[in-house]
Amino acid sequence: MFFKSIQKKMNAKQFGFYFLILFLPIFMFGIFGPTEIFFGNYSELGFVYGEFGWKFLICGVLLSFVLTFIFLFLPDMIRKPLLALIWGSSIAGYIQVMFLNKGIDQIGVTAEGYIPDTSTSLKNGIFWILILVIALVITYLAKSVWKKILIITAGILLGVQLVGYISLFITADSNAFHYAEGEPCLSSEKQYTVSSKDNVILFVLDTFSNYFLDTALAMYPDLTTGMNDFTYYNNADCNYYGTYPSLAHMLTGHELDTTQSVDDYLYSCWNNTTTDDYYNLLKSHNYTVNLYTPLTDLLTGTNSVDIMSGKIDNITTANSNRVIDYKKLYKTMLTMSCYRFVPEYFKPNYDVKNEQYESIVSYPENEIQYSNPNFYNNLVATKLSADDSSNYFTIQHLNGTHEFINDENCQYDYDNATIESTVKGIFTMIYEYLDQLKALGVYDNATIIITADHGQERNSQVVFFIKEPLETHDTLQVTNAPITLNELVPSIVESIGEDYSEFGQSIHDFTPDQKRERTVYVRAKDPGFPSVKKFDSDAEGGANIYRTYTYTGTLNDLTTLYDTYSFGVIPMIDSYF
């Protein structure tokens, strides 16, 4: 009797109809979505398609078959509205991804994540409700043609996306499918090693705006009391909003050329006469230059890490001993897909932290510590050691306030972390580092710079602390001299006792209250300009122009320009993000 019931219900047309309606959202959300995200970002994600893609495809098809089989046995009064709502959600989700997501904040780009305003959420919610109501109306009122409407629209949407899905594989390069073994990369071996002689130590704390510091100081007034030997520049401009191009600019002094592609600009950063002279000068003073960041694409693009050879000393050869957190991988890809698919109101619930997707792949034998808690905990556990073979120029690129992920003790606290707790935790980490330098007897002679690659989009100025060799004060010195990160390279050259004029001006060339015109470049997406591709794929870039804000004064003058839309425009060749 049971098998006769199954045979009766297993009508091929019915089965095909249910399968189509159910497979469409599963394909959109669980197969095509993660695949499109991967191919647009695989160079940053660090894993190949085979780690998840085929599994998602097979599981998606099997899940659709199982759900179809279940739907065959549901009462019509339950099955019919469910089909209508699933179909309506698929239509609304497709429109959301293709047309309504334009200009939304990219995942992992800002500390706060994407927070839509009330008006946007309300309008978007009304759109979704309207689509779902129309789907129910069609299902119940157009009784003679509702199935045909659902089949035709679902078939068209599925067909369009299948074509897009297949094209992703045709246009992708081999790096999306195969790990590049034996490729040059940065070694983590001496991340906690300094020189027993002279040191230049540069902390680049991602996205640490001086606004964040001021916010934290309101809660923790004694936050900077341990920085008594430092001078704090509270009016420091980052030149470029975004770790690209700012980090490469900081390490080479090479200013952005907007007529060049990302790859060409990054290559020219490391291969020009001035950069050569800078690093040769460091070598002539017996400096070993060690750079610690897991984000080498920001410095090389699709070029090999070898373009930094002769400048950066801790370049080694990658090994294949990688560990993949598959649970985190699957969760991250599906969460990223949800972020694109769901209505505006729910998007903040699917914010993926930069630290989350960067920690999917790890190399236990060569793990560069980037997150504040990991760096701090390893610092406490392993301690700094001193090497007497050379002087050291050490560059530590850390998470900073890119996301709020740690408490005031610099431990992970995803649920409760705030601007204040994250900043307090950063100072816990910095003070531990400084104390260990003192314990080794190398603090006094060191040049120590604590800054950031950029701030927020609106509050783009950065923190900038510097302690120069043998500099001591009773309290932290504060100045509003109008400096920029253009002065970083010249100031480092000055700190080792050399003439810096070839490289520009030093921070000491500017005085408190001085009026100086400065310009910051802020990437943006403007529909009035042609879209551009991402630098490493055929995916559409997240930006297509730079907005240039030219101001004289302080952060208040800059934010006034931002709030009044007073900017120039420079089109991009391609987009890093």
Residue 96 CA: distances (Å) to CA of 91, 150, 350, 442: 9, 19, 15, 56
Distance CA 312, CA 482 (A): 30
Residue 449 CA: distances (Å) to CA of 158, 357, 379, 397: 54, 28, 18, 12
Contact 328, 359 (CB under 8 A): yes
Is the dihedral angle over the CA atoms 557, 259, 274, 535 positive or is it negative?
positive
- At residue 434, does pLDDT exceed 80? yes
- At residue 173, does pLDDT exceed 90? no
Rounded mean pLDDT, 184-207: 97
Q: Which helix (H) or strand (E) holds 248?
A: helix 243-252
pLDDT of 229-270, one tens digit each? Answer: 999 999 999 999 999 999 999 999 999 999 999 999 999 999
Burial class of residue 405 (count of CB atoms within 10 Å of its CB; 0-12, 13-18, 19+)? buried
Contact 484, 452 (CB under 8 A): no
Query: Residue 443 gets which letter from DSSP?
Result: S
pLDDT score recorded for residue 3: 45
Q: Which of 104-113, 196-205, 318-327 shows the lowest mean pLDDT across its residues? A: 104-113
pLDDT score recorded for residue 440: 98
Residue 84 CA: distances (Å) to CA of 25, 131, 346: 12, 10, 22
DSSP of 49-62: GGGTHHHHHHHHHH
Any bridge partners for residue 534, and if so which? Answer: 575
Contact 304, 183 (CB under 8 A): yes
β-strands 199-205, 447-451: how paired?
A: parallel
Distance CA 235, CA 229 (A): 19
Residue 482 CA: distances (Å) to CA of 17, 46, 166, 550: 67, 39, 52, 13
- At residue 181, does pLDDT exceed 50? yes
Q: Which helix (H) or strand (E) holds 199?
A: strand 199-205
pLDDT of 438-471, one tens digit each? Answer: 999 999 999 999 999 999 999 999 999 999 999 9
Residue 487 CA: distances (Å) to CA of 274, 279, 456, 500, 546: 14, 16, 20, 10, 22
Query: How would residue 569 be classed by pLDDT, with cut points 50, 70 and 90?
Result: very high
Residue 78 CA: distances (Å) to CA of 21, 140, 185: 15, 13, 56
Contact 489, 244 (CB under 8 A): no
Query: Residue 539 gets which letter from DSSP?
Result: S
Rounded mean pLDDT, 2-20: 73
Q: Please give the single-letter amino acid code of residue 62.
A: L
Residue 49 CA: distances (Å) to CA of 171, 176, 183, 367: 14, 6, 19, 22
Q: At what angle do helices 243-252 and 262-270 cross, to 10 degrees?
A: 20
Which residue in 436, 429, 176 sits closest to 302, CA to CA? 176
Name the CA radius of gyration of the chain, rounded: 27
pLDDT score recorded for residue 311: 98
Q: Which helix (H) or strand (E) holds 222?
A: none
Distance CA 507, CA 486 (A): 9
pLDDT score recorded for residue 2: 44
Distance CA 44, CA 31 (A): 20
Contact 436, 421 (CB under 8 A): no
Contact 555, 458 (CB under 8 A): no
Residue, of 519 and 109, whose pLDDT is higher = 519
Q: Token digits for 334?
A: 């599906």
pLDDT of 282-330, one tens digit each? Answer: 999 999 999 999 999 999 999 999 999 999 999 998 766 889 999 999 9
Distance CA 116, CA 120 (A): 6
